[in-house]
Amino acid sequence: MENCSVIDMFCGAGGLTHGFVLEGFKVIAGIDADTSCKYAYETNNRGAYFIHKKIEDLIAEEILDLYPHGHTKILVGCAPCQPYSSYNKKKGKKDEKWRLLDEFGDLICEVKPDIVSMENVPDLVKYRKGKVYSDFVAKLKANGYYVSSFPEVYCPDYGIPQQRTRLVMFASKYSEIDILPPTHSPDQYRTVWETIGQMEPIKAGGVSEKDPLHRSSQLSELNMRRIRASKPGGTWRDWDKELIATCHRKVSGDGYVSVYGRMEWHLPSPTITTQFYGFGNGRFGHPEQDRAISLREGALLQTFPMNYEFVAPDKPIHLKVMGRHMGNAVPVELGRVIARSIAQHLRVHLQ
């Protein structure tokens, strides 16, 4: 899109940015508090540079100075979603990061970009009885924005091989923005097999000689017995009693049937989280091999291209850090859907 410039707040490793880049948008910069994302962000998104800064420390003038004069200003982002996740609510966790959404709203109203988009978890609309999100929307509307909210965007409907449901919000100075209609029906959903079925076999704790990111975590002897007893789509209830964790034998553990599970080849994967590399953290077991999925496989299920670089060649690869970069990302293909929806809107209003 000519004469349109994008800035990505909470950019992380660049999933949302990369979707815009692939759709022909000029992305000026990504801003994030996690400096470890800098290499992946800048290496894969040429021309966009990484700014290490917390949103609380940003002022509107810093953002405005980044946009070229006369360009349509687009501001996108995904405020950290852990505070609003059903997992954290089930665990009873408290997280003050929800305040970042309020900070984002204030920044939008000070910068006054032409177009805004935010991606987050659907439970955001229920958080604190809906007040956090409704206050955010009301703030934008009070500043002249048309706000469109799509709280139930199901990723497989757009060719993303992951059973991930996301909230997508658009705000525009011109009119409401419609998200593109789904591109895939259920019988066309991309599957785990289509996405990672041709990856080189590796063992638990193993690393491919061809791709250092195709590595899986070690499994203890007990977890090796557990994964061997697991079947695709099954649960720990399929195991012999001595393999079941003590916490799951209690009534309170009945709600966590998706941990220690294998994916199924013929379906999209479960939602990729920041801990997808751990067999015990969800249904992240490989459908056939006795291991959790690898870092590269997680990135592919997040629709990052195979050649997306997450770490410099001479740097060590840490599962926890890479899991955070990949799991926190907006799936690249969802980024493309968001970008195409904005492009369609702008073609109508900027003729």
Is residue 81 part of the annotated active site? The answer reads: yes
State how far the Cα of 272 lies from the Cα of 294, in Å rounded to an integer.
12
Contact predicate 261/235, CB 8 Å: yes
What is the sign, positive or negative, of the torsion defined by CA atoms of 297, 301, 305, 309?
A: negative
Instruction: Report the run of H or E that residue 155 belongs to, with start and end.
Output: none
DSSP alpha helix (H) spans, 23-176: 38-44, 60-64, 86-91, 99-111, 131-142
Rounded to an integer, what is the distance from CA 117 to the centroid of its chain? 14
Closest C-alpha to 287, from 187, 176, 199: 199
Instruction: Report the run of H or E that residue 193 belongs to, with start and end.
Output: helix 192-196
DSSP alpha helix (H) spans, 197-267: 221-228, 246-249
Q: How many residues are recorded in the chain? A: 351
Phi/psi at 345 (nearest 5 deg)? -65, -45
| Coil, strand or helix at 30 | strand
Task: List the catalytic residue out of 4, 37, 81, 155.
Answer: 81
Structure tokens at 214: 């195709």
SS3 content of the chain, % helix, strand, coil (to 5): 40, 15, 45
Looking at residue 137, the DSSP 8-state letter turns out to be H
Could you list the active site residues? 81
